[in-house]
Structures are given as structure tokens and as C-alpha cells.
């Protein structure tokens, strides 16, 4: 598997979101250099680092101290410590930030944080859930609908590497298939 330079500098602790999914998150959320982001369930901080490499400001929530320390070290290794703050707090208890452009949720009970994400987002902002199991995805999707989000959609990213040789080109025998379901939704704009 190939990793971008910024992630090659980072260490792994708990499970990380891989580049194949990070690229889709960046593309579908539409974040850019003026975006303000909340990332919850920072873990090793790979998604937070990638977001901070693009966005104006990222606040990552992580309640486990050992993960928060690793995410901070990874932010320094990647050179994004000026745009990434690791907040030692449990997102299930609320999100302090307001008028943010994107809230990402990567935790077991992320559906329980959807209402907090709704309160934190600006009108037109995006919520994103990273969900390994289809049952989690359904709960998250339903929570987004119940909270009043628009355009909820779920997808999965599958990557297939190819073996390129003089004798011929063919798919590799193995590939990176399921990592998680990705659910996006948009906070309604005022009418």
C-alpha cells in the first residue's frame, strides 16, 4: 500500500483511516484553506492530520489520553501542529465549537453525537461518519435524517492495485476492499 509523505511521518496506534477513504472525505466534504473542522474520535490522528494539511483549523476530540498524546505527536511529525488542536474531551458529551464547515465522527456510537454535530455546523456544513459495520451505518444514517440533515448518502471505497510488467498488466491477487462505510449529510440551509 502506498501512503502520502505526510502520513509516512505518522505512527500508528489505534486503527487509522486510510488514504483511500481520506481522499473521498476531502473531496465529498469540499473543505479547503478557509474551512474550520471538528474531527471526533481522533485515535492516531491520521484523518485529523490530513484535514489539518488542507483546512484553516481542525479541532480533534479524543477522550483517551494515550490516543490524544499520539495524535499530538503525529501532528508535530507531520508539521500541522499550528492548524490542529487535540481536545481531550468526549464528543458524546457535546461539541463546543460553532459554525464549523465539517464534523467527522469516527467512533463506535457516532450516531449518539449527530445532534451535537448538527448544533456545531453552519448551515450548509457537512457531517461525516466513518462506520465499519452496516448496522452502525444504518443507525448513523437514521440519526442524520432525524436531526434534519439533507442529502444523506452512504458509500464504500474499494481500491484495486494492478501489477504492471513487460509480460502484461493484470490486477494484483489481493486488494484493499472494505475498511468502512462512509456516510455524508448536509445541514439544511435557511429558506
Q: What is the pLDDT of residues 79-126, one digit of tens each?
A: 999 999 999 999 999 999 999 999 999 999 999 999 999 999 999 999
Domain count, the chain: 1
User: 34-71, pLDDT tens digit by residue?
Assistant: 999 999 999 999 999 999 999 999 999 999 999 999 99
Higher pLDDT, 9 or 33: 33
Q: Is residue 28 packed enough to be buried (19+ CB in 10 Å), middle (13-18) or exposed (0-12)?
A: middle
Is residue 92 within 8 A of residue 41, CB to CB? The reply is no
Q: Is residue 168 packed enough to be buried (19+ CB in 10 Å), middle (13-18) or exposed (0-12)?
A: exposed
Q: What's this model's pTM, rounded to 2 decimal places?
A: 0.92
Integer Cα distance of 91 and 186 in angstroms: 19
pLDDT of residue 1: 61
Beta carbons within 8 Å of 81's beta carbon, 6+ residues apart: 72, 75
At 115, which helix (H) or strand (E)? helix 114-120
Which domain covers residue 183, as residue numbers? 5-187
Is residue 128 within 8 A of residue 111, CB to CB? The reply is no
Q: Could you tell me which residues are beta bridge partners of residue 126? A: 102, 186
Domain with 48 in it: what CATH number? 3.40.50.150
Amino acid at each position: 500500500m502506498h501512503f502520502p509523505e505526510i502520513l509516512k511521518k505518522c505512527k500508528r496506534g489505534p486503527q487509522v483511516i486510510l488514504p483511500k477513504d481520506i481522499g473521498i472525505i476531502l473531496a465529498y466534504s469540499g473543505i479547503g484553506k478557509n474551512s474550520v473542522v471538528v474531527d471526533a474520535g481522533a485515535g492516531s490522528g491520521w484523518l485529523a492530520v490530513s484535514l489539518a494539511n488542507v483546512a484553516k483549523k481542525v479541532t480533534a476530540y479524543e477522550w483517551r489520553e494515550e490516543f490524544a498524546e499520539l495524535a499530538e505527536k503525529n501532528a508535530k511529525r507531520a508539521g500541522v501542529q499550528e492548524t490542529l488542536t487535540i481536545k481531550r474531551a468526549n464528543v458524546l458529551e457535546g461539541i463546543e465549537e460553532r459554525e464549523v464547515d465539517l464534523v467527522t465522527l469516527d467512533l463506535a456510537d457516532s450516531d449518539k453525537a449527530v445532534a451535537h454535530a448538527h448544533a456545531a455546523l453552519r448551515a450548509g456544513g457537512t457531517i461525516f461518519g466513518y462506520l465499519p459495520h452496516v448496522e452502525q451505518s444504518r443507525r448513523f444514517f437514521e440519526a442524520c435524517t432525524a436531526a434534519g440533515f439533507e442529502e444523506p448518502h452512504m458509500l464504500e471505497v474499494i481500491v484495486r492495485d494492478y501489477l504492471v510488467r513487460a509480460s502484461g498488466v493484470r490486477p494484483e491477487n489481493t486488494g484493499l476492499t472494505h475498511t468502512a462505510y462512509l456516510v455524508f449529510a448536509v445541514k439544511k440551509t435557511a429558506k
